[in-house]
């Protein structure tokens, strides 16, 4: 008489549990989607959402402008970036002329980090 082979019950339980969790997540996702569709159907909610997005957009722009004012020629994580293309890592510093704001000189020399490729 041969022995019957059985899978270990622990593994099967884990798989069944994973499937039921996946089914619950999918059910919640569909319910959330339906709720958000219904919520966005209200014009007042759409106006609120649009206003909030615009406020977040302006806040982000101001945050980036402030960061660049304090640390010019840097990326979002503080890494140094080329002052001309803003993409690559700088390898040298070049001299450029900027139009003067005052009346004493026409141009002012400024130093800009440069990647050497752009
Ligand atoms: Zn560059």
Give the pLDDT of the chain (118 residues) as one tens digit per residue: 556 665 555 566 777 888 899 999 999 999 999 999 999 999 999 999 999 999 999 999 999 999 999 999 999 999 999 999 999 999 999 999 999 887 778 899 999 999 999 9
Q: Is residue 79 part of a domain?
A: yes
| Ligand 1 centre distance from Cα of residue 78 (Å) | 17
Residue 112 and residue 85 in contact, taking contact as beta carbons nearer than 8 Å = no
| Ligand 1 centre distance from Cα of residue 90 (Å) | 7
Q: What is the pLDDT of residue 35?
A: 98
Q: Is residue 59 part of a domain?
A: no
* Residues whose CB is less than 8 angstroms from the CB of residue 114 and which lie 6 or more positions away in sequence, other chains included: 82, 83, 84, 90, 91, 92, 93, 94
Q: Is residue 107 part of a domain?
A: yes
Q: Is residue 37 part of a domain?
A: no
Q: What is the pLDDT of residue 96?
A: 94
| Ligand 1 centre distance from Cα of residue 27 (Å) | 49
| Ligand 1 centre distance from Cα of residue 61 (Å) | 22
| Ligand 1 centre distance from Cα of residue 42 (Å) | 47
Q: Is residue 18 part of a domain?
A: no
Number of domain units in the chain: 1
Q: Residue 89: which domain range?
A: 75-118
Q: How far is CA 32 from CA 42, 53, 74, 91, in A?
A: 16, 20, 39, 50
Q: Is residue 2 part of a domain?
A: no
Q: Is residue 60 part of a domain?
A: no
Can you give the pTM of this predicted structure? 0.57
Q: What is the pLDDT of residue 16?
A: 84
Q: Is residue 66 part of a domain?
A: no
Q: What is the pLDDT of residue 14?
A: 74
| Ligand 1 centre distance from Cα of residue 8 (Å) | 60
| Ligand 1 centre distance from Cα of residue 83 (Å) | 7
| Ligand 1 centre distance from Cα of residue 81 (Å) | 8
């Amino acid at each position: 008489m041969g022995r019957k082979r059985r899978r270990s019950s622990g593994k099967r339980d884990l798989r069944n549990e994973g499937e039921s969790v996946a089914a619950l997540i999918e059910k919640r996702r569909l319910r959330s989607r339906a709720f958000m569709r219904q919520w966005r159907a209200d014009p007042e909610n759409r106006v609120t959402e649009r206003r909030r997005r615009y406020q977040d957009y302006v806040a982000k722009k101001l945050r980036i402008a402030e960061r660049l004012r304090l640390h010019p020629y840097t990326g979002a994580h503080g890494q140094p970036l080329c002052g001309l293309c803003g993409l690559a890592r700088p390898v040298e510093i070049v001299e450029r002329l900027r139009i003067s704001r005052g009346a004493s000189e026409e141009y002012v020399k400024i130093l800009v980090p440069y990647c050497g490729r752009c």
